[in-house]
A and B are shown apart, each in its own frame.
Chain A
């Protein structure tokens, strides 16, 4: 059920790498319990958009507001400058992020990966963090890998551990950056199942994905990005069966073939 105010509001967001405009005026509202799937060709700006949301990548123009608060910048007298890192971090830790390449900490065991954020950033007691981490690992089906090193896990297991690590921060929004793109095909299902479970619990999320069937199934809204812009946006039923834009049709024809 959507509330009145969006928890995340993007307005006119732009970003360039040199002369190349990666994001060219993105407007997007994300409401509580939304599952926003972002699709599009590689290079269309999808991943950059996600990284701008929690300011892992700074955006250049426009605004990103999380619960009304500007992300990454402060504005005084109409002028904008970078916010203090400590301020940005307070916002950032409310986003859980899952990366294409998992990015688990290789020198730590699975459980140490999961408690790292809560103990180091949230200041939770270790014993308490471990109890919760064990619950999260059980949820993603990794209890028996509790003390394993990431390098001994399959890609699917690593990604599920990474999801548990992100959830341990009790995020308000989860950001998934192509969570299954680095996986062998037979391992995709277990990661999607873990994400599906979060959807069922009402987690708000943005997912950059190439899994069209999955997007169609779980998304409340689908965003099709092309050349740094949102070319088309709508409920999955509309986007996948009756897209308005010819660009969307061409893209879907290619990936759904």
Chain B
């Protein structure tokens, strides 16, 4: 049974994909930024010498990594307003939920990056009289960041795909825009195929970049 493809019917609707892509990128950058802001202190805090800080950060990271992003989004969107009276818009919900979600993964990237720096660097920094925070900021993180770039770009590419979950709470990112378009032109095969193509076009450069960076950074050592 051969299907007759009619991609040309999509042409007039190109703005749907462009606007969807813009929303998707807004979600991705917003959540990545929030994730980095949460992830840095969480990753450092997980190794803190202060026990309560360590416990709280570990609990956050493990809990988030142990629950699906979809459940986190739905919980913040539907449960949080009932419990607190605080109703966030769909877009804000997505950025906050994915930011908290990414924070846990980025925390682990920070932790692994810091762990990959030679212990002697801490010893040298401490021997100069530096505090742990100053040693991290001046000596350890600048070296760790190099090691963190490839996994961070990878995580960014993952996040870009996870934003499709926004469709369940009617955020007009790519997935949701595509579903909407189908109900107008009744061409699911063309629309979903085009959707996949658009995602690939956005995501592949990132994956390519991550691979390049990985090779360049490893050859430098």
Say how far A56's CB is from chain B's closest CB, in angstroms. Answer: 6
**Complex partner residue of B127 from A97, A101, A107, A120, CB under 8 angstroms:** A97
Cα distance, A20 to B134, chains bound together (Å): 33
Cα distance, A122 to B130, chains bound together (Å): 10
B1 interfacial by beta-carbon distance below 8 Å: no
Most chain A C-beta atoms within 10 Å of own C-beta, residue among B118, B123, B125, B132 = B123
Interface of B is mostly: helix
Cα distance, A120 to B142, chains bound together (Å): 16
A92 interfacial by beta-carbon distance below 8 Å: yes
Range class of the A interface residue count: 20 to 34
B138 interfacial by beta-carbon distance below 8 Å: yes
Interface contact B120-A103, CB-CB below 8 Å: yes
Count of inter-chain pairs, beta carbons less than 8 A: 59
Interface contact B120-A117, CB-CB below 8 Å: no
**Complex partner residue of A85 from B125, B127, B128, B131, CB under 8 angstroms:** B131
Residues of chain B lying within 8 A (CB to CB) of residue A122:
129
Cα distance, A56 to B120, chains bound together (Å): 11
Interface contact A103-B131, CB-CB below 8 Å: no
Cα distance, A55 to B121, chains bound together (Å): 16
Residues of chain B lying within 8 A (CB to CB) of residue A166:
127
Pull 17 A–B residue pairs with CB atoms less than 8 Å apart, ordered by A.
A85-B131, A85-B132, A86-B131, A89-B129, A92-B129, A99-B120, A101-B120, A103-B118, A103-B120, A103-B124, A105-B124, A105-B125, A120-B130, A120-B134, A121-B128, A121-B129, A166-B127
Binding site for A on B (CB under 8 A): 118, 120-121, 123-132, 134, 138-139, 142-143
